[in-house]
Structure 1
Amino acid sequence: MPVIVRFGVNYTPSRGWFHHWLDFDPDDIRADLDSIAGLGLDHIRVFPLWPLFQPNRTLIRPKALEQLGMLVDAAAEHGLDVAVDGLQGHLSSFDFLPSWMTTWHRRNLFSDPEVIDAQERYLGALAGALAGRHNFLGLCVGNEVNQFSGDPHPDPDRVTTGQAEHWLRRMLAACDRGAPGLPHVHASYDAAWYDGRHPFTPAHSARIGAMTTVHSWVFNGTAQRYGPQGAATELHAAYVVELAKAWADDPARPVWLQEVGAPAPYIPPEQAADFAWATLAAVADCAGLWGITWWCSHDVDRALADFPELEYGLGLLTNAREVKPVGEALARFIRERGPGAVTPPRTALVLDAGDAETAPGRGVCAPGGAFFESWMRVASGGLRVGVVLAHLAGDAGYLAGRGIGEVVGSVAL
């Protein structure tokens, strides 16, 4: 049966970036959405700024919820479904935390009882405000909120692996109470997959929530080590999708490539379109892939100060809503690909990252790591290759459930 992969984009407003919530303009939003829909995309991911929506622990602004609903309704007018992130949290190098949990009111984001209670009420309010809208896809707990939990954050909210799991389950339960039955998820940056000391783990990502989300950024050492057109760089998104499937208890669990982009100078602007095409071609046929959501829709206005240089030019469109070559490449891929027939990888590499729950040896999965190198060596030869955790490599029933007929080698710690 043909498989239809969803194609969307992370919505960065062309005027004011995410500060647009302070000067909410439905006409500007509709113009942005019109330019997004023109690329043939079917969904967007949007980002309320937490301090603006819940400026006091006991105040969730009705006007902010109303404006979020207006944005979702405007997206429906353009044939776009909407996924909404809750706890922003962290965006493009900036942290957005409400004042009631910083400085004089400093308390832990993941473990303080009053903070957790407030977060639950906030996520429930977001979900409840949008429940029943036909184009609302569900909530994501927050954007890479795991970056607050440890180094290299300058002021981390320390948490144990057990506390992280408890927090995630409570947040997702709050989402489901607000909008029952929708595929609510959570999202981590790649320390969850690549750093054995990080409290958020691959098992958290692959077993909690309705889908596994992955963020594939090649400025994490991949493009620096292997070059902008290296096989490992172009295969990185496919790799993290296959890595995610290895930790899932359910072989049929969907994976959402929630962020992928072409960051300059690691991907030179003149090579961004080629990078996008190669990345999409490698990942779009991965079995179990729910969708691909590019980062991001529109460039950041250079009138806004202090962003890292790479953040300004990640858009598929300019601030004037003109389609860039990378946007043209994505639109052409969507037009030409159509529904694809997906065949699960018959061959899988065995990964030994230690205990499956905490994965202390997951550093072997990072760029330059032994498992990363092995997987890329096999995959760059044209073979579609999966990943199997070491303790499951001899489980015939499990392998059959994933359609894997052969396991190859074992990369130990």
Structure 2
Amino acid sequence: MPEQDPAHRPLRFGVNYTPAQGWFHHWLDFDLDAVRADLDAVAALGLDHVRVFPLWPVFQPNRTLIRPAAVEQLVRLADAAAERGLDVNVDGLQGHLSSFDFLPAWTQTWHRRNLFTDPDVLSGQEEYLRTLAAALAGRPNFLGMTLGNEINQFSDGPHPDPDLITEAQAGAWLDRMLAACERGAPGRMHLHAAYDAAWYRDEHPFTPAHAARRGAVTAVHSWVFNGTAQRHGPTGTATEQHAAYLIELSKAWASDPHRPVWLQEVGAPAPHIPEDQAARFTDATVRNALDCPDVWGVTWWCSHDVSRSLADFPALEYDLGLLGNDGTVKPAAKALAALAGEWGGRVHRPAARTTALAVDAGDADAAPRRSVCAPGGDVFEAWARLAGQGLRPALVLAERADDVEHLAARGITEVRTPQEVLA
């Protein structure tokens, strides 16, 4: 199922599926009826897809054992989603979820090996991703694989025990794992996803160029607890347009001027976004994101709250669900449902963003000074200022600021520097 022509691609609205019972530990005692009830609630919001998360050590507890029963459970979940009109994207290497790491024993302690470079680990990961993709390849509602959830966090600080690698090693790992997904399910929308260190953290081995040039689409994960809401407040322009900013930032590095961008994770984290402002934040965030060209879709984090019976989560993780554990439909869910009803399935081509801000992060591939793009950095703050003035700023690499062909392809007619704007 090849990705549609961008000119005829309808907008997609979905949710990251967090089971109401047991969170992702539900794989340990899988209950298809409970999953069906959860998916019924998702479908009732008018959404069209879910992103789902196998737990890597549950599915591949030994390097040469990928549990057939676990793979079958994943297939049954995908089939249950299809019965409710929901497509499915599957994250493979979990990896990291809501502050917890889930790594198989064969990569840890006495068997400690680098997740990105050890030959045996690489072969095990390849076979795991290929197996999951192949199991779903025949399902029409299977969108494709995401390599893992923000697996770049294992490669650098602030992780307490990182598997340190170079930019080149990160790129080689991405190429090898994406190829494994393609072997399992040829022609599907296979991609990778990084948390915002890829865009904001100097010398992080996963780079903006990796994010914007590898895989079928660019994935953006937008979280305003990264300093944005702290600096600009819950209703500040920079906060309500943070997702739009990341989408535009990704387009600065993309080789294809019309590469699709998937807002794959975005949520309303309390207390940075107060509970009584969650619906407003949801509506503003999505509308601003949809004002960016080439958006594939929006996938909210997440479907259901984390039960308070589960211990040790960061406080903000418990209440991110659109739905309560008892099925309560929260204000943010109603806001997202209204947006899906208004925009879902429509072919949307917003006007080009004619004014662009130049991004000088150093070498375009390594981006050694990419912290200028982070909250507080000149690029970030200048973009937010322009947006606050009612402009619709794009972003372009400084080295492309005089590239007439590139600018024309994106509809850019004016390029300004952060220094000009901030002055």
Normalised by the length of structure 1, the TM-score is: 0.98
CA distance in 2, matches of 1:321, 1:254: 33
Match of 2:278 in 1: 272
CA distance in 1, matches of 2:162, 2:256: 33
CA distance in 1, matches of 2:385, 2:300: 26
Deviation per residue, 1:332-355 (Å, 9 max, x gap): 122234534411211111111110
CA distance in 2, matches of 1:124, 1:151: 29
Closer/same/farther in 2, CA of residues 310 and 361 from structure 1, 3 Å limit: same
Match of 1:383 in 2: 391
Match of 2:401 in 1: 393
The answer as to whether partners of 1:352 and 1:410 remain within 8 angstroms in 2 is no
Q: Which amino acid aligns with 1:32?
A: D
Deviation per residue, 1:324-372 (Å, 9 max, x gap): 0110111112223453441121111111111000001100000011110
Instruction: Give the secondary-structure state (helix, strand or coil) at the position aligned to 2:417.
Output: strand
CA distance in 1, matches of 2:122, 2:341: 44
Match of 1:107 in 2: 113
Q: Which amino acid aligns with 2:370?
A: R
Of 29, 47, 56, 1:50 maps to 56
Instruction: Give the secondary-structure state (helix, strand or coil) at the position aligned to 2:172.
Output: helix
CA distance in 2, matches of 1:344, 1:140: 29
Match of 1:62 in 2: 68
Match of 1:143 in 2: 149
Shift of 1:247: 0.3
| Larger mean Cα displacement after TM superposition, 240-249 or 401-410 | 401-410
Of 62, 74, 87, 1:81 maps to 87
Of 208, 211, 223, 1:205 maps to 211
CA distance in 2, matches of 1:274, 1:401: 34
Give 4+ residue runs of structure 1 displaced > 3 Å after superposition. none
Q: Which amino acid aligns with 1:51?
A: P
CA distance in 2, matches of 1:216, 1:314: 14
Of 292, 295, 299, 2:301 maps to 295
Deviation per residue, 1:307-326 (Å, 9 max, x gap): 00000000000011221011
Equivalent residues in 2 for 1:9-408 (5 A)? 9-337=15-343, 339=346, 340-408=348-416
Deviation per residue, 1:21-58 (Å, 9 max, x gap): 01101100000000000111010000000000000000
The answer as to whether partners of 1:213 and 1:257 remain within 8 angstroms in 2 is yes
Shift of 1:258: 0.5
CA distance in 1, matches of 2:286, 2:146: 23
CA distance in 2, matches of 1:379, 1:24: 46
Shift of 1:285: 2.4
Instruction: Give the secondary-structure state (helix, strand or coil) at the position aligned to 1:138.
Output: strand
Deviation per residue, 1:272-324 (Å, 9 max, x gap): 11111111111112101001000000000000000000000000000112210
Shift of 1:160: 0.5
The answer as to whether partners of 2:11 and 2:343 remain within 8 angstroms in 1 is no
CA distance in 2, matches of 1:230, 1:2: 34
Instruction: Give the secondary-structure state (helix, strand or coil) at the position aligned to 2:187.
Output: coil
CA distance in 1, matches of 2:277, 2:41: 23
Instruction: Give the secondary-structure state (helix, strand or coil) at the position aligned to 2:168.
Output: helix
CA distance in 2, matches of 1:137, 1:225: 37
Instruction: Give the secondary-structure state (helix, strand or coil) at the position aligned to 2:165.
Output: coil
CA distance in 2, matches of 1:45, 1:382: 34
Aligned residues: 412
Shift of 1:411: 5.2
CA RMSD of aligned residues (A): 1.2
Q: Which amino acid aligns with 2:342?
A: E
Deviation per residue, 1:183-231 (Å, 9 max, x gap): 1000000000001121110000001111110100000010111111111
Closer/same/farther in 2, CA of residues 382 and 3 from structure 1, 3 Å limit: farther
CA distance in 1, matches of 2:286, 2:260: 17
Q: Which runs of 5+ in 2 are unaligned?
A: 1-6
The answer as to whether partners of 2:268 and 2:282 remain within 8 angstroms in 1 is yes
CA distance in 2, matches of 1:390, 1:286: 20
CA distance in 1, matches of 2:261, 2:389: 24
Percent identity between matched residues is: 67
Instruction: Give the secondary-structure state (helix, strand or coil) at the position aligned to 1:232.
Output: helix
Q: Which amino acid aligns with 2:375?
A: P
Q: Which amino acid aligns with 1:180?
A: P
Q: Which amino acid aligns with 1:367?
A: P
Instruction: Give the secondary-structure state (helix, strand or coil) at the position aligned to 2:342.
Output: helix
The answer as to whether partners of 2:19 and 2:35 remain within 8 angstroms in 1 is yes
